[in-house]
Amino acid sequence: MLENSEADAELIKHELSRAGLEPVTKRVDSEEAFASALCEFAPELVLSDHSLAQFDARAAVRVLRKLRPATPLIVVSGSLNGDQTVACVRAGVEDVILKANLSRLPGSISHAVAIRRPLHKLTPRQIEVLRMVADGHRTREIATRLKLSVKTVESHRGEVMKRLEMHDVVSLVRYALRVGLISTD
């Protein structure tokens, strides 16, 4: 949990327990602690307040996508306006839940984890190739950037398509957008 209020963190944990989930959480409230927790705690899901003192949910998504690209992030906030909500979703946040409506959180968590489950079938290199393909890079350019042969990149792309059960690049792009591997910004 990326949350600066211990009371709010406890409220969220209580709601999850009430829904039959047994959360094991670590609460952090800074970018440094967040990055460290991603590596050491290795969460299956991140719940984030929209805005902390020097770190917001959009910045958290950028850090999360670098360190744990298969992990979803759900914003749980006291209040957000429409522009802030849209900006969060465009940045790759799975969902936005208001603290006044925490009953929606368990369903949102289930959905977020299910959408990203196929990413766990991919190696870090395959995720990197997926990200670059979805971002519009050509095979030869990907090979050059990653210092791989064109044949190796083609092999990775084929394996990504097989493991994700997708048959064309358009589907890969849609999926990469959906799970926040690439953004619309």
The domain spans of the chain are 6-116, 122-178
Closest CA to 158 of 133, 184, 177: 133
CATH no. of 122-178: 1.10.10.10
Residues 28, 31, 32, 37: is their CA dihedral positive or negative?
positive
Average pLDDT across the chain, whole number: 89
Question: Residue 110 — very low, low, confident or very high, per pLDDT cuts 50/70/90?
Answer: very high
> Residue 185: pLDDT above 70?
no
Q: pTM of the predicted model, to two decimals?
A: 0.82
The structure tokens listed for 66 are 């670098």
More confident residue, 181 or 169: 169
Q: Is 65 helix (H, G, I), strand (E, B) or coil?
A: helix
Question: What confidence score (pLDDT) does residue 157 get?
Answer: 95
Distances (CA, A) of 113 to 44, 46, 138: 8, 11, 30
Domain 6-116 is found in CATH 3.40.50.2300: yes
